[in-house]
Structure 1
């Protein structure tokens, strides 16, 4: 149920936006044809890597280890140019795209479709996972991404997040002490991986401004732009993920990854 499909959301289905009260979309012929027939990601997947964008990844040397996973998830169209691949890897199977990124970086695809398609090539034959039915302003950019990639002959598949799945996850974690306005993308993907994968490894999840040795680190591995304060409860999320790590439900990598022998 993590994605909207023709199977779980037939014509006439009312999709209630999970990020806004009292807004909904009734599936019609126009939107129905944008959905995949059924969920293309089948459980159980063997070993999954969920790659956050934290500055803790910088100089980690984790790229080779990340790329060895069977299924790799990334958050919000992160840069994967050569200067970063040693730390973050180069392979991608699913990448999220927040509508605000489409608006700010690509002018809502009203003028910059070519540059968008070119930038997306770095993610290979991946699924592009978008919250089209979370906030009303995010629907049009998400649909535009779907049309843009289809019109360009891209091999990527756009999946729209199921708002019921996002809502239920939010409630689940709120009952366990996470009180931000909304879960972070990384928390959504980590939770999704727990449901899909036999083994889950997290990389780049570190919401603090210093590393384990007290050295300052940037917010992201590629810049130091801070998020809007109060929107996500990153320390609370990290604590829950750390509990899962300590219980053996997943493995969280912090700091450097071991080098290949020899």
Structure 2
């Protein structure tokens, strides 16, 4: 059972305004070493122990934000006509660089977008070959920064920094920003203490947690992990394709149950139908 004072409880646990992003050159590496001591599974690459990029430390300067939309990529968004409603939000989070060519259903505006390094591996050859196709895609989110969990696993740290420097090399109007691993550890512990048992938190739940902390009103779109809509009609896995997610990585039904609990308590809004 979620507490009635859920939002303030998240704030007391995670303090987004302070811990959300890594600090700059002087403190980034000590922070990573601190997390390494907490988790024996994290072993940062030796290539990261040299010069670090100067990383933005503050993102949400005017809090609270009145209304926020968190846009997932569930097939429930296909033909939803929710684009205009999403674009009316004061701050719009998007997940995992989902294509922006469905504006009637998903809107056109973005304030922050997350990026899973697996996308760079699968679609853009880990940015080791031609990088222009990746840059053409990233521009569809301008001027929103790209948020990555660079230090969750050693295997993604180098790729996350490569993404950072790719945008810098091309003179992009955006930048890559990195989650503070302490912040992510706090979020994971918080939800674990609330009874959520998952192998790994999804990027969607990460940004939902942030939105609940900084926004007066949070509405979720595209968070629907089922193969049929609310009327029993079949829908694709994603609004842009029918490729199923990798099995065993995230427990999306468990997370959706959590969202439905919060919806029943009036903590957030959960859009799973059409917008009119």
In 2, the alpha carbon distance for the partners of 1:23 and 1:146 equals 20
In 2, the alpha carbon distance for the partners of 1:157 and 1:135 equals 21
In 2, the alpha carbon distance for the partners of 1:227 and 1:163 equals 24
Alignment correspondent of 1:39: 58
Alignment correspondent of 2:137: 119
Task: Kindly indicate whether residue 125 of structure 2 is the aligned counterpart of residue 104 of structure 1.
Answer: no
Please report how far the alpha carbon of residue 164 of structure 1 lies from its aligned counterpart in structure 2 after TM superposition: 1.3
Please report how far the alpha carbon of residue 118 of structure 1 lies from its aligned counterpart in structure 2 after TM superposition: 1.1
CA contact (8 A) 1:108 1:141 kept: yes
Alignment correspondent of 1:188: 206
Please report how far the alpha carbon of residue 180 of structure 1 lies from its aligned counterpart in structure 2 after TM superposition: 1.7
Alignment correspondent of 2:179: 161
| Aligned mate of 2:226, from 187, 205, 208 | 208
Matches within 5 A, 1:5-16: 5-6=23-24, 9-10=27-28, 12-13=30-31, 14-16=33-35
Alignment correspondent of 2:16: none
Query: Structure 2: 5+ residue runs without aligned partners?
Result: 1-18
| Aligned mate of 1:227, from 240, 245, 251 | 245
**CA RMSD across the alignment:** 2.0
Matches within 5 A, 1:1-262: 1-6=19-24, 9-10=27-28, 12-13=30-31, 14-16=33-35, 21-24=41-44, 28=49, 30-31=51-52, 33-36=53-56, 38-42=57-61, 43-81=63-101, 84-258=102-276
Alignment correspondent of 2:7: none
In 2, the alpha carbon distance for the partners of 1:121 and 1:20 equals 37
Query: Structure 1: 5+ residue runs without aligned partners?
Result: none
Please report how far the alpha carbon of residue 231 of structure 1 lies from its aligned counterpart in structure 2 after TM superposition: 1.7
In 2, the alpha carbon distance for the partners of 1:34 and 1:110 equals 23
**TM superposition score normalised by structure 2:** 0.86
CA contact (8 A) 1:98 1:130 kept: yes
C-alpha distance 58-48 of structure 1, shift in aligned 2 (>3 A)? same
In 2, the alpha carbon distance for the partners of 1:210 and 1:10 equals 44
Aligned residues: 254
Please report how far the alpha carbon of residue 28 of structure 1 lies from its aligned counterpart in structure 2 after TM superposition: 5.0
SS at 2:69 equivalent:
strand
Please report how far the alpha carbon of residue 15 of structure 1 lies from its aligned counterpart in structure 2 after TM superposition: 4.9
**TM superposition score normalised by structure 1:** 0.90
In 2, the alpha carbon distance for the partners of 1:216 and 1:15 equals 47
In 2, the alpha carbon distance for the partners of 1:148 and 1:15 equals 28
